[in-house]
């Protein structure tokens, strides 16, 4: 934290502008020196034009320089930015010039980590920032922006306040045992602790949707040769991506394409028809399709007669295949619907909306709740689940007249889990892992 760090903050490659960002005690002085001015000449939050030069005085680029002095900056430290022309070589020369003047290259996520260390954002907001950067759909972006804005932190703070109040009641009864359990029963502390645990569990349960929004959903189309997989694939995609032919085995390898449904990025994978292959290339194509299907979040078993998949297919797809499988009756314009299947027609488009909804439901991405507070990381989910479990244990202990000292231990465990979610109680190892996911320069 005593060092000044620097990095290129814009994407690598050709572009109109490249930004070199600095943060730390010498950030403004280094940026000012780059354009041959004293630090005081850089007014706070005002762009100044200048010519950047290296240590030997050689001209580098026409630039704009801006100083953002502490504490009113992203990191909470002195921050400076040099805005030059885009391009890998140009940005690299500007970066080397500031490193030569005493800055060091930033680690991935180090700017954001310094913002966390200086209290400019908490850990939940930092994860929201990462989500904004990585968002692949409008809905994922909205969820991440809400988390960056502090909606998740506000919800957790409210739960912590309620739990702290309950703990105060419990500890008062420990200090004044003549009040004891009768007082707690009269004030419904057990019911309040149970309600807090249920709220934590409900929040943790939004992770299926959050994960789908963050990572997308992978859907494999599986079935026998000429079952209509490629036609359905194209119909769901809305354009021809996979070759359709009456000739058996047209799809020899898997074909994939992305589409967006209800704000969720969906990757459709059209696999080779499941069959006994006689050629090496054909055999490898079938094997690759099976491997992708085993990894898929949802498997569509395509059959024109609406028949369920044979046991050997379920065995190939691995554990929990039935739970993530949807039986789809294809070529619906030729046959009546079969109960228990999703009846579709690639030709007319019948049943496609129902199939899309079923896919999102199986993937846990059909939650119609608010996008403001959705858990988006396994870390958040685990801490909320732990808080829910500890709160439920405390509520049960209160009901069963367990010694209050033991009840207080469970309540404190729930509070610690909630505190760790926003970063109030978290170790350096967790911070190292989380911020390492960020790009250099952010």
Cα separation, 6 vs 67, whole angstroms: 14
Reading the block at residue 16, the tokens are: 């109109």
pLDDT tens-digit profile, the chain (442 residues): 789 999 999 988 888 999 999 999 999 999 999 999 999 999 999 999 999 999 889 999 999 999 999 999 999 999 999 999 999 999 999 999 999 999 999 999 999 999 999 999 999 999 999 999 988 888 899 999 999 999 999 999 999 999 999 998 888 877 776 665 666 666 788 899 999 999 999 999 999 899 988 888 999 998 888 888 888 999 998 866 554 444 444 444 578 899 999 888 999 998 876 644 445 555 555 677 677 888 888 999 999 888 888 887 777 777 677 788 899 998 888 888 888 899 998 888 999 999 999 999 998 887 655 677 999 999 999 999 999 999 999 999 988 878 888 989 999 999 999 999 998 877 787 788 888 888 888 8
Q: What domains lie within the chain, and their CATH numbers?
A: 5-117 (3.30.1360.120), 151-207+373-423 (1.20.120.430), 218-362 (3.40.50.300)
Q: What is the torsion angle, in degrees rounded to the nearest 10, for the CA atoms of residue 32, residue 35, residue 36 and residue 41? A: -50
Angle at 98 between CA 92 and CA 100, to 5 degrees: 100
CA 74 vs. chain centroid, Å, equals 22
Angle at 84 between CA 80 and CA 87, to 5 degrees: 125
Assign residue 18 a region (left: φ > 0; alpha: ψ between -120 and 50; beta: otherwise).
beta
User: What is the enclosing helix (H) or strand (E) of 97?
Assistant: helix 88-100
Q: Which pLDDT score, from 0 to 100, does residue 195 have?
A: 96
Query: Phi and psi of 224, rounded to 5°?
Result: -70, 170
Write out the DSSP string of 123-166: HHHHHHHHHHHH--SHHHHHHHHHHHHTHHHHHHHHHHHHHHHH
Q: Of 70, 136, 62, 117, which Cα lies nearest the Cα of 94?
A: 62
Query: Phi and psi of 367, rounded to 5°?
Result: -60, 125
Q: Which pLDDT score, from 0 to 100, does residue 278 have?
A: 46
User: What is the enclosing helix (H) or strand (E) of 410?
Assistant: helix 404-422
Reading the block at residue 255, the tokens are: 């074909």
User: What is the enclosing helix (H) or strand (E) of 359?
Assistant: helix 352-362
Cis status of the peptide bond prior to 386, with omega within 30 of 0: no
Question: Are the C-beta atoms of 102 and 30 separated by less than 8 Å?
Answer: yes
79-85 sheet: strands from edge to edge = 48-53, 59-68, 79-85, 17-23, 5-8, 104-105
* Total Cβ atoms within 10 A of residue 215: 16
How far, in Å, are 4, 22, 34, 258, 441 from residue 78 at the CA level?
9, 8, 16, 42, 15
Q: Of 69, 77, 101, which Cα lies nearest the Cα of 24?
A: 77
264-270 sheet: strands from edge to edge = 255-261, 264-270, 217-223, 298-303, 325-329, 342-343
Length of the chain: 442
Coil, strand or helix: which one is 54? coil
Q: Of 60, 49, 3, 55, which Cα lies nearest the Cα of 26?
A: 3
Reading the block at residue 38, the tokens are: 């004293």
How far, in Å, are 61, 91, 302 from residue 96 at the CA level?
13, 9, 57
Cα separation, 297 vs 313, whole angstroms: 16
* Total Cβ atoms within 10 A of residue 49: 10
Q: Which pLDDT score, from 0 to 100, does residue 251 have?
A: 47
Cα separation, 401 vs 20, whole angstroms: 62
- Name the DSSP letter for residue 120: S
Cα separation, 22 vs 74, whole angstroms: 11
Q: Which pLDDT score, from 0 to 100, does residue 179 have?
A: 60
Q: Which pLDDT score, from 0 to 100, does residue 434 have?
A: 82
Cα separation, 173 vs 253, whole angstroms: 69
Q: Which pLDDT score, from 0 to 100, does residue 283 have?
A: 59
């Amino acid at each position: 934290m005593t060092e000044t760090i620097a990095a290129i903050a814009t994407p690598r490659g050709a572009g109109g502008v490249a930004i070199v960002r600095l943060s730390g005690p010498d950030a403004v002085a280094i940026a000012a020196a780059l354009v041959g001015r004293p630090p005081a000449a850089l007014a706070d939050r005002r762009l100044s034009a200048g010519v950047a030069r290296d240590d030997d005085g050689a001209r580098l680029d026409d630039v704009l320089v801006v100083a953002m002095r502490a504490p009113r900056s992203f990191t909470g430290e002195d921050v400076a930015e040099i805005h030059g022309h885009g391009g890998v070589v140009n940005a690299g020369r500007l970066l080397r010039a500031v490193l030569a003047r005493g800055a060091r290259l930033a680690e991935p996520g180090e700017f954001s980590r310094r913002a966390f260390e200086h209290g400019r954002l908490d850990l939940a907001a930092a994860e929201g920032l990462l989500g904004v950067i990585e968002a692949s759909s409008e809905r994922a972006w909205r969820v991440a922006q809400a988390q960056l804005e502090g909606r998740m932190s506000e919800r957790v703070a409210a739960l912590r306040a309620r739990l702290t109040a309950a703990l105060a009641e419990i500890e008062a009864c420990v200090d004044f045992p003549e009040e004891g359990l009768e007082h707690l029963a009269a004030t419904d502390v057990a019911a309040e602790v149970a309600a807090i645990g249920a709220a934590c569990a409900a929040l943790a349960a939004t992770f299926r949707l959050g994960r789908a929004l963050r990572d997308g959903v992978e859907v494999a189309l599986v079935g026998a040769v000429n079952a209509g997989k490629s036609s359905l694939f194209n119909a769901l995609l809305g354009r021809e991506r996979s070759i359709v032919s009456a000739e058996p085995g047209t799809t020899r390898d898997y074909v994939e394409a992305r589409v967006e449904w209800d704000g969720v990025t969906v990757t459709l994978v059209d696999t080779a028809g499941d069959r006994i292959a006689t050629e090496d290339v054909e055999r490898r194509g079938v094997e690759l399709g099976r491997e992708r299907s085993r990894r898929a979040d949802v498997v569509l078993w395509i059959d024109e007669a609406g028949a369920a998949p044979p046991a050997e297919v379920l065995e190939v797809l691995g554990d929990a295949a039935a739970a993530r499988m949807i039986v789809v009756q294809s070529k619906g314009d030729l046959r009546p619907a079969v109960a228990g299947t999703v009846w579709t027609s690639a030709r007319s488009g019948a049943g496609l909306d129902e199939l899309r909804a079923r896919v999102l439901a199986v993937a846990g991405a059909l939650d119609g709740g608010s996008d403001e507070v959705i858990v988006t990381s396994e870390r958040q989910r685990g801490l909320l689940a732990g808080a829910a479990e500890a709160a439920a244990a405390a509520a049960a202990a209160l009901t069963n007249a367990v010694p209050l000292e033991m009840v207080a231990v469970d309540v404190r465990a729930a509070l610690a889990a909630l505190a760790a979610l926003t970063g109030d109680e978290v170790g350096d190892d967790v911070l190292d892992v989380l911020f390492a996911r960020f790009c250099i320069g952010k």
